[in-house]
Amino acid sequence: MPELPEVEVTRQSFAKRIEGATVESVLVGKPLRWPLGIEPVQLAGAKVGSVQRRGKYLWLPLLGGLQGQGGLLIHLGMSGSLAFGVNLAPKGVHDHFELVTSQGVLRLTDPRRFGAVLWSPSLDSGWAAKLLSTLGLEPFDPALTGEYLHARLKGRKMPIKQAILAGDIVVGAGNIYACEALFMAGIDPRMQAGKLSRPRCARLVEQIQLVLRQALEQGGTSLRDFKDAYGSQGHFQLSTQVYGREGEPCRICATPISRMVQGQRATFYCRVCQKK
């Protein structure tokens, strides 16, 4: 599943190229997770504003046209990717949405169709408000501190990895990045979240931010089919410390990396370097 680094890399790869473009038409293919929520013809004539990201969602402001002010909220789902260009390959069976503009075509390809493109009047109303209102802090928000994390974890009995993945405290630490950050912070992913001390919370915040920065610098993670709007794959998967390395030696202590399942997701960790 594309996580925050992959979504941000995608945004950066097409945001400047599409900004200011005029929407000429919208083509909708097979149904996605939710319906568009507006007649496609109503988007014609709108101008594309500055593309933003909130968590794993992209927001494309659309100004003018028949629909007035609003925008499209885009989620890549489990296997989706966006491409943008003037000479895209012919539309394929898994291409389910196209925003045709004066500066190129923005196309959503989603084999599993868990993604979504939703019309919303603003970020503070409609679908956008409903889906974004429960999200936690962005990982690089100055308000995300060890003290904040410690306060939000208080009383939580779930394992720390699942608390991070929940998304209501901090967004962006998806499965791969949670495994990596917990390893770098030396924290056992099974540890009860509410028992994490203030110093360890501070250390975990630092490592979440560091891991996500590294992932952004390396273009995200491409385990299966992720690619940005240029068609380029990420390379973070080549430098993981624990994720996907079951049985391989820990890069610090040489103990074989362990794997277990938490909340239906694979967790990779070092049973020596990571402590409860």
What does DSSP assign to residue 91? Answer: P
Q: Are the C-beta atoms of residues 82 and 91 closer than 8 Å to each other? A: no
> Is there a catalytic annotation at residue 121?
no
Residue range of the domain that includes 224: 146-269
Domain boundary among 62, 97, 132: 132
Do residue 152 and residue 236 come from a single domain?
A: yes
Query: Of 104, 132, 160, which residue sits at a domain end?
Result: 132
47 is catalytic: no
Clarify whether residues 37 and 155 are in a common domain.
Answer: no
Active site residue 3: yes
For this structure, is 213 an active site residue? no
- Find where tokens 């110093």 sit: 199
- Strands (DSSP E) contained in 17-172 are 23-28, 47-48, 52-54, 57-63, 70-75, 81-85, 95-101, 104-109, 116-120
Residue 276 within a domain:
no
Q: Are residues 119 and 166 in the same domain?
A: no
The pLDDT value recorded for residue 62 is: 96
- Residues ≥6 apart with Cβ < 8 Å to 63: 46, 47, 49, 69
Instruction: State the catalytic residue, choosing from 2, 61, 159, 189.
Output: 2
Q: What is the pLDDT along the chain (276 residues), one digit of tens a residue?
A: 688 888 999 999 999 999 999 999 999 999 999 999 999 999 999 999 999 999 999 999 999 877 778 999 999 998 899 999 999 989 999 999 999 999 999 999 999 999 999 999 999 999 999 999 999 999 999 999 999 999 999 999 999 999 999 999 999 889 999 999 999 999 999 999 999 999 999 999 999 999 999 998 888 775 555 555 566 666 687 789 999 999 999 999 999 999 999 999 999 999 999 998
* In a domain? residue 140: no
Pick the catalytic residue from 17, 56, 113, 161. Answer: 56
Which one is catalytic: 3, 8, 98, 180? 3
Please state the domain count of the chain.
Answer: 2
54, 91, 190, 265: the active-site residue: 265
